Amino acid sequence: MKLKLPEGLLKAYLFDCDGTIADSMPLHYKAWKKALAEWNCEFEEKLFYEWGGVPVAEIISRLNARDGLSMPVEAVARRKEEFYFELLPELQAVAEVLDHINIAHGRIPFAVVSGSTKESVTASLVALQLLDRFETMVCAGDYLKSKPDPEAFLLAAARLGVAPEFCLVFEDTEMGIQAATAAGMAAVKVPPPWERE
């Protein structure tokens, strides 16, 4: 399956990481299940994908509110990251996105824009041997409002010195596409694993 890019002059590519560059969503879900099992907290797979792009701390807060739990946000987030790092040897790139990275690398600048922590994104990109392809990373903690707010994409464009209208966003979540649109950027939707095969 090929990703069809929009027409027009594009001077920068902005990529979400999890589910877009890295086929990491199944691994993140395994890590979540393991971390939350320690607190007898259920996290349905459908809901996990619906909340794609929501920062880790916010997910834990939402689950606490939903289930009347008081899981310590930082401790659970740390456990979840530890379990994810253990699974990294299994990580693969999303082939359709990797094609565009390989074709355009060196011709236009790239940024990663993610709701995950910088440590998690860096670990994923190192595992995929892609870290050196990106001029900048905008991760959780670099911005105040998460997707669907455009703040993170606008920050990445500013760091690259490219006007929003010349940026193309690669995203796998509806919230990410909404954020790109709100930023005045073109976007291409990366289908979920079960649609790519």
Select from 3.40.50.1000, 3.30.950.10, 2.60.40.10, 3.30.428.10 the CATH code of 12-24+92-196. Answer: 3.40.50.1000
**The one-letter amino acid at 41:** C
Residue in the block written with tokens 């464009």: 157
* Domain edges within the chain: 12-24+92-196, 25-89
Q: What is the pLDDT of residues 133-164, one digit of tens each?
A: 999 999 989 999 989 999 999 999 999 999 99
pLDDT of 194 > 90? The answer is: no
Q: Which residue in 32, 70, 19, 15 sits closest to 173, CA to CA?
A: 19
Q: What is the pLDDT of residue 197?
A: 67
Domain over 25-89 is classified CATH 3.40.50: no
First CA to last CA across the chain, in angstroms? Answer: 8
CA 149 vs. chain centroid, Å, equals 14
For the annotated catalytic residues, the residue numbers are 16
C-alpha–C-alpha distance, residues 92 and 66, integer Å:
33
- Please indicate whether residue 178 or residue 193 has the higher confidence score (pLDDT): 178
Considering the entire predicted model, what is its pTM?
A: 0.89
Q: What is the pLDDT of residues 23-64, one digit of tens each?
A: 999 999 999 999 999 999 999 999 998 888 788 899 999 999
- 17 sits in the region (left: phi over 0; alpha: psi -120 to 50; else beta) called alpha
Cβ neighbourhood burial of 103 (10 Å; 0-12, 13-18, 19+): exposed
Q: What is the pLDDT of residues 64-118, one digit of tens each?
A: 999 999 999 999 999 999 999 999 999 999 999 999 999 999 999 999 999 888 9
Q: What is the pLDDT of residues 9-25, one digit of tens each?
A: 999 999 999 999 999 99
Q: What is the pLDDT of residue 193?
A: 80
Q: Which residue in 162, 112, 167 sits closest to 134, CA to CA?
A: 112
Q: What is the pLDDT of residue 164?
A: 98
Cβ neighbourhood burial of 88 (10 Å; 0-12, 13-18, 19+): middle
Tokens of 76: 């659970």
Q: What is the pLDDT of residue 54?
A: 84
